[in-house]
């Protein structure tokens, strides 16, 4: 539940435009089961709330905000219990609704600052009504007679009236997109993007092999790797690759490995079949 990013959206899969165009109500055919799984289909928490409100089957001005808040929170809990990644927006809304719920249930103290539960509830109801009104407006708009679909312009225009004196045609959009793409192009050309350091398995194997000679006794894997870690950012990749390489080397008998418990330090030492100097030279040569 730590995803702060937007969940991937696939509105077309769930609410295809065709539905919106043809279906006046704009109601989406969604049953409860799908709802639980398909959070990605919602365009944010308000969309989800609106959907839940719709299932109350009452006029939006008469919905019970309290019931709605409970439904939403329950929904989020269910989503979390089956480990659906939720965008931060949804969690923030859940927290806000929990706060709203407490405000509605507990009488407000006289000196209490901030909006009352009723104010918050009516603000939420307003926002839902407004969003729904905009959806309906969008549907009505798109169902109007549209140029090029229902209504047509002259097919063989003879003349383009030039209203501007400049004699040149360009829109603000043209101008801005030209500028943005130019600047972006130049920025990409001028900025050297820092190469991300990643330890390959081969790198890790070579480094481990080099170290083998020095290792007299059990040595903590990450402890000796520190020598090779120039920056903390390399830590994760170095440990991951070294660990994978060490397993392979254990299999070959070049290394022994020991860990006393989960998350305890990992120790390594030379195995029964150490790497020969020639083999090491070969590896070094291969790496260049």
Of residues 124 through 153, those in contact with another protein by CB under 8 A are 126-127, 129-131, 133-138, 140-142, 144-153
Q: Backbone dihedral region of 101: left (phi > 0), alpha (psi from -120 to 50 degrees) or beta? A: alpha
Closer of 55 and 143 to another protein (Cβ): 143
Query: How many residues line the site for another protein (CB under 8 A)?
Result: 83
**CA dist., res. 174 & res. 180, Å (int):** 10
Find the shortest distance in angstroms from Cβ 52 to another protein. 13
Q: What is the DSSP string of 76-143?
A: HHHHHHTT----HHHHHHHHHHHHHHHHHHSPPPTT--S--HHHHHHHHHHHHHHHHHHHHHHHHHHT
Please measure the distance between the N-terminal and C-terminal CA atoms of the chain and give it in whole angstroms: 44
**Residue 73 engages another protein in binding (rule: CB under 8 A):** no
Select the residue interacting with another protein from 170, 216, 277, 286 (CB under 8 A). 170
Q: Residue 180 is encoded by which pair of tokens? A: 């943005």
CA 201-204-209 angle, 5° bins = 125
Given a contact cutoff of 8 angstroms between Cβ atoms, the answer to whether 234 and 199 are in contact is yes
> Which positions ≥6 away from 235 have C-beta within 8 Å?
229
Check residue 177 for interaction with another protein (CB under 8 A).
yes
Binding window for another protein (CB under 8 A); candidates: 29-37, 39-47, 68-76, 199-207? 39-47
User: Can you tell me which of 22, 55, 184, 276 binds another protein, judged by CB under 8 A?
Assistant: 184
Residue 173 binds another protein (CB under 8 A):
yes
Looking at beta carbons only, is 166 or 231 nearer to another protein?
166
The residues with which 270 forms a beta bridge, in sequence order, are: 255
Query: Rule CB under 8 A: is residue 172 a binding residue for another protein?
Result: yes
Give me the 230-269 binding string for another protein, x by CB under 8 A, dash otherwise.
----------------------------------------
Q: What is the four-CA torsion angle of 154, 158, 163, 167, rounded to 10 degrees?
A: 130
- Where residue 275 falls (left for φ over 0; alpha for ψ -120 to 50; beta otherwise) is beta
Q: How far is the CB of 1 from another protein (least distance, A)?
A: 16
Question: Quick check: 143 and 19 in contact, CB under 8 A?
Answer: no
- The two structure tokens encoding residue 187: 């920025």
For the chain, the maximum distance between any two Cα atoms, rounded to a whole number of angstroms, is 91
Say how many C-beta atoms besides its own lie within 10 A of residue 41's C-beta: 21
From 13, 17, 67, 106, residue interacting with another protein (rule: CB under 8 A): 17
Q: In this complex, which beta carbon is closest to another protein, that of residue 152 or of residue 263?
A: 152
Instruction: Rule CB under 8 A: say whether 45 interacts with another protein.
Output: yes
174/282 with CB nearer another protein: 174
Stretch touching another protein by CB under 8 A, among 77-85, 167-175, 212-220, 249-257: 167-175
Q: How far is the CB of 105 from another protein (least distance, A)?
A: 19
| Interface of this chain with another protein, residues 185 to 204, rule: CB under 8 A | 186-187, 189, 191
> Rule CB under 8 A: is residue 34 a binding residue for another protein?
no
Nearer to another protein (CB atom), residue 25 or residue 186? 186
Minimum distance from CB of 169 to another protein (Å)? 5
């Amino acid at each position: 539940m730590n995803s702060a990013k937007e969940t991937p959206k696939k509105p077309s899969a769930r609410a295809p435009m065709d539905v919106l165009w043809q279906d006046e109500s704009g109601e989406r055919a969604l049953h409860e089961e799908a709802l639980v799984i398909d959070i990605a289909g919602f365009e944010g928490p308000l969309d989800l709330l609106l959907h839940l409100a719709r299932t109350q089957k009452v006029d939006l001005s008469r919905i019970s905000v309290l019931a709605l808040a409970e439904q939403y929170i329950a929904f989020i809990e269910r989503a979390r219990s089956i480990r659906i990644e939720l965008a931060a927006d949804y969690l923030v809304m859940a927290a806000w609704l929990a706060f709203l719920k407490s405000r509605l249930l507990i009488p407000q103290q006289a000196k209490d600052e901030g909006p009352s539960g009723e104010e918050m509830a009516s603000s939420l109801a307003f926002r839902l009504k407004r969003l729904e009104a905009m959806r309906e407006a969008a549907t009505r708009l798109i169902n109007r007679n549209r140029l090029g679909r229902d209504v047509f312009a002259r097919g063989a225009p003879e003349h383009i009236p030039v209203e501007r004196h400049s004699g040149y045609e360009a829109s603000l959009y043209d101008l801005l997109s030209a500028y943005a793409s130019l600047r972006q192009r130049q920025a990409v050309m001028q900025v050297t993007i820092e190469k991300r350091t990643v330890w390959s398995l081969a790198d890790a194997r070579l480094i481990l092999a080099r170290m083998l000679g020095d290792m007299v006794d059990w040595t903590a894997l990450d402890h000796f790797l520190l020598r090779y870690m120039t920056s903390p950012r390399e830590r994760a990749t170095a440990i991951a690759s070294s660990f994978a390489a060490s397993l392979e080397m254990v299999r070959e008998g070049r290394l022994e490995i020991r860990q006393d418990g989960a998350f305890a330090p990992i120790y390594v030492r030379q195995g029964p079949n150490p790497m020969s100097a020639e083999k090491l030279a070969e590896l070094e040569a291969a790496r260049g």
